Every structure is written in structure tokens, then in C-alpha cells.
Copies of this chain bind each other. A is one copy, B any other.
């Protein structure tokens, strides 16, 4: 079965809090991820939470990327939903290049919009 989009979910732990506390370095991280792909940014929205923590959203031609950071937990949640292929290992390399080799990245990949071949009653 074919999917319509691929959704990459990265849970990144053990991040130095100073790297994810405010918007600028978090935006740089997303920019670097996007620059490593063929994806195109169409719109953006970033918010600084108080006292620390950031949400960043890029609307892409190919869907979206999001990040939410909890510096107090050394944790960032990154999601990339794309309707074109990307290389997740390259993106993990970008993440470790910027956040350091000590971070722990947990990756999940979800095929979104799988073609439905079953009757409604079977689901």
C-alpha cells in the first residue's frame, strides 16, 4: 500500500538546556535541518515561552516541520511531515552536529494516509 505522506518523529533527550532555551538557536536548528533537504519553507511561526522553552513551526510546500523544547528536561520534540522523501539519517546527523553527540535520539516513522483497501466495517 502506498502512503500519502511520511511522518518522522524524533524525540531528542539529554540536550544542553542552553541550546534550546530561546528562539534563535532553535530556529537555527530547524533552518539547518531544512537546508539539508529539498524542502521549501512557505511560512513560519515561533514562540518564546517564559522563562524558557520554544515552539517553532514551519509550513512547508511539502507539509510541515515542528519543534517543541523543554530545556528543563533537556528534551526537544521534532516532527517532520513530508510528501516527498527525505533522508532521516542525514537529519539525525544535523541534529547531533548542532545539539552535540551526547544527545539521545529516538526515531519513529509513520506512513500517513495509507490507501484504504478494506471496507469501513473491517477497520
Contact = CB atoms under 8 A, between A and B. Distances in A.
A57 interface: yes
Interface string A66-77: 101010010101
Contact of A43 (B45, B66, B68): B45
Contacts of A123: 104, 106
A63 B54 CA distance: 9
24 contacts: A4-B75, A4-B77, A7-B77, A11-B113, A13-B113, A14-B120, A42-B47, A43-B47, A43-B57, A45-B45, A45-B57, A45-B59, A57-B64, A57-B66, A66-B81, A68-B81, A68-B83, A70-B113, A77-B112, A79-B79, A79-B81, A102-B120, A104-B120, A108-B110
